[in-house]
Every structure is written in structure tokens, then in C-alpha cells.
Amino acid sequence: MKTVTILGATGSVGTSTLDLVERAPQDFRVLALTANCDVAGLAAAAIRTRAALAVVADETCLPALRDALSGTGTVANGGAHAVSDAAAMGADWTMGAIVGCAGLAPTMAAVAQGGIVVLANKEPLVSAGDLILAGARASGATLLPADSEHNAIFQCLDAARPQGVRRIILTASGGPFRDWSREAMRSVTPAQAVAHPNWSMGAKISVDSATLMNKGLELIEAARLFPIAHDRIEIVIHPQSVIHSLVDHIDGSMLAQLGPSDMRVPIAHCLAWPARMATPMAPIDLVAIGRLDFEAPDAVRFPALRLARQALEAGGARPAILNAANEVAVAAFLAGRIGFLEIAAIVADTLDRYDPPAPETLDAVLGVDAEARVYADACVKDCVI
């Protein structure tokens, strides 16, 4: 029986993970669950799975969590340090699904314990990729990608023989505004931006998909995860979201992983790896799908792709700044403080204004993140809708 910890248990990835774990109680025992402040969702999940520990990152929510779990046998705790402590409990399998840089320290804590650490949040590899990879080498931890695109690459790529790979191709749905002009995108509302055509996701990642920043961050992740030169990682728009990524080999063979637009598929692959487990997903009906379309992304209408590739090539602190500025800009857009097109503009301005040395420790990464947010917030205040 595999012990499981889910960091970010009440978000879309966390609930998908719980769904799979609860379908196979004979295979998994839940050690710890964490959330920010969704007491009702966290307590219900902890009671259903008989989790040993439940943690809220927002310590002001702890009294309510203790009340909800009173008499259940599940220990309640709260605060950012308590989340990292939960990650360090030594579970066999840990899902890292905390959105934002709040997930950095817990992910590092889980990696330090060894075992399998599944990465669903982008920030560890984008902002602190070198540190995460070095930590995994030191502890012997196995890192598995839960993003559908990176999981697809993982399934198609023979990492022991990277010399046989010509290209990695990340697919992108193109988001809800794939065919919109830049002029039309000026009036995009938050409600329109979070209405992804294929995937059911949280608000922040849905906006990232609409700007294609999500794909830019995935480009940086792919460069960290797979031993392939940056210029051989490409992005292609694939509106149906059936092919999740492809690996092109030097002999002309191209391998693709196909699956439904449901995160339970890549999560199940990570849960059972190196074996397979059943999911409730119906088989793909190729006849019903009928066609698979592809097109090149438009870097003029979606400048986030260019910003991400530039940050990847520059290295150092640039990816962390990119990520932090984007988080600030997306939050401002969702709050109605800036327009849709200002998101990428604020990221670009922040990258222009702030260029510190490369961070070499987790504290240094967090320092870069915090300072970048100050610069980005100043850019937000300069914006006029």
C-alpha cells in the first residue's frame, strides 16, 4: 500500500487526485492533505480518506478546521511551516499542486525526503528548477510530471537515449481567444478568460491558457525536465486537445500521447507508475473526433510565448521574475484592475526594470519572487484601463 500526501488537495488537481485515490482504497493510504483555507473541502476529504493530518496554510482558518475534524482522529494544523512539515512526513508519493510560489518550500521539503514527487504546479521548476533538480539528485527522489503535456512527453521519450530525439513538440489548445484579433482582446472580461474551451481548471491557470503564458511556463518546465536543447522544444496549436505532446525522433518516427481532456489521466499515470491503473475515462472515439488540426502560434497576438522563451534562454533569475510578474498581473486582471492585454505588458515591463543576479538558494529565489512582485505591482498601478 502506497502512502500519499496531496499538497493543494482542494484545487482542481487535488480533487482529481483524491477521486483516483478513493477509487482504489486497497492501494493507497492518505498521510496528509493540505489546502489554503477551504476548511469544508479539506475536512470532508480528510474524513473520507481517514487522513492522518490536515493542514490549512492560512493559520486563521485553523480553529474552524479543528472544529470540523474534532473526534475524527485526523490531526489539524495550520500555517506555511505546517504545510512544509506535512510535505516532509516521508510519504511514498506526494502530489505538489499548490498554486503559486507558496508551493516552492513544500515541494522542496517533499523532494528532500526522497520518494516520488509529482509536479503539477509550475513554480518549482520555473522559478527554482536548478534547486529542485539538485535536491532530487541528492535525496534520490523521483520527479514525475502531472501536467498533461509533460506527462505525454515522459511517456513518449526514452530519457536514457536523448540523442535519438530530434524535437519535443508541446501542444496548446490556443485558449478561448485563439482566433481573436488583438483589438478584440482589449475588451476581454475575466469571465470570458476563465471559460476554457476544453479543460476545467482554476481561474489563474485558465487565464494563463488564454494568454498562452501557460504554454510559455511549460516550455521552461520541459527544458528543465528533459535533456533536450532549448531550441529543439517547439509549440504548436492543437485546438482539439487530444494529442497532449509529441516527440520527434531522428529516424523520422514521431510518437504522440493521446487522451481525453481530463487531468485524471496523467495523474493516474503518475499514481501507478511504472504500472498502469484503471480510470473512469471512456476510451477515445477517434471516429467521433474525426479530425486533428494544427497551426503555428501567433507570437504577435500572444507575446507571452516570446517573453517565456527569452527568459528561458537568459536563465538566472529571469524565469522567476517572469512567473512572479505574471501572477501579479493575472490577479490584477481577475480583480478588474487591468485589461487582458496588459498582463503580458506588465510582465515585459517587470523584466525590463528588474535584473538581479541568479539566485542560488531557496531563500534567494523567494527574495527574487518578492521583489519582482513589488516591481510588477508598480506596473499595475501605472496601467489605466
Q: Per-residue pLDDT tens for 226-282?
A: 989 999 999 999 999 999 999 999 999 999 999 998 999 999 999 999 999 999 999
Task: Out of 145, 167, 193, pick the residue that ends a domain.
Answer: 145
Residue 196 pLDDT exceeds 80: no
* 265 within domain boundaries: no
CATH label of the domain that carries residue 17: 3.40.50.720
* 291 within domain boundaries: no
* 213 within domain boundaries: no
Q: Domain containing 23: what range? A: 2-145
* 264 within domain boundaries: no
Residue 317 pLDDT exceeds 60: yes
pLDDT category at 384 given cuts 50, 70, 90 is: low
For 335, residues 6+ apart whose C-beta sits below 8 A from its C-beta are none
135 and 44 Cβ atoms separated by less than 8 Å: no
Cell of 199: 479543460
* 168 within domain boundaries: no
Q: What pLDDT does residue 159 have?
A: 84
Task: Out of 96, 119, 145, pick the residue that ends a domain.
Answer: 145
* 187 within domain boundaries: no
CATH label of the domain that carries residue 353: 1.10.1740.10
Q: What pLDDT does residue 160 have?
A: 86
pLDDT category at 204 given cuts 50, 70, 90 is: confident
Cell of 334: 481577475
Compute the distance between CA of residue 384 and CA of residue 334 in angstroms, rounded to an integer.
Answer: 15
Number of domains in the chain: 2
For 323-351, the pLDDT digits (tens) are 999 999 999 999 999 999 999 999 999 99
Compute the distance between CA of residue 103 and CA of residue 235 in angstroms, rounded to an integer.
Answer: 26
Q: DSSP letter for 132, please.
A: H
* Main-chain dihedrals φ then ψ at residue 29, nearest 5 degrees: -125, 125
* 68 within domain boundaries: yes
Task: Out of 98, 119, 145, pick the residue that ends a domain.
Answer: 145
User: 0.85 cut: is pTM over it?
Assistant: yes
* 209 within domain boundaries: no
Q: Could you tell me which of 159, 243, 161 has the C-alpha nearest to residue 198?
A: 243
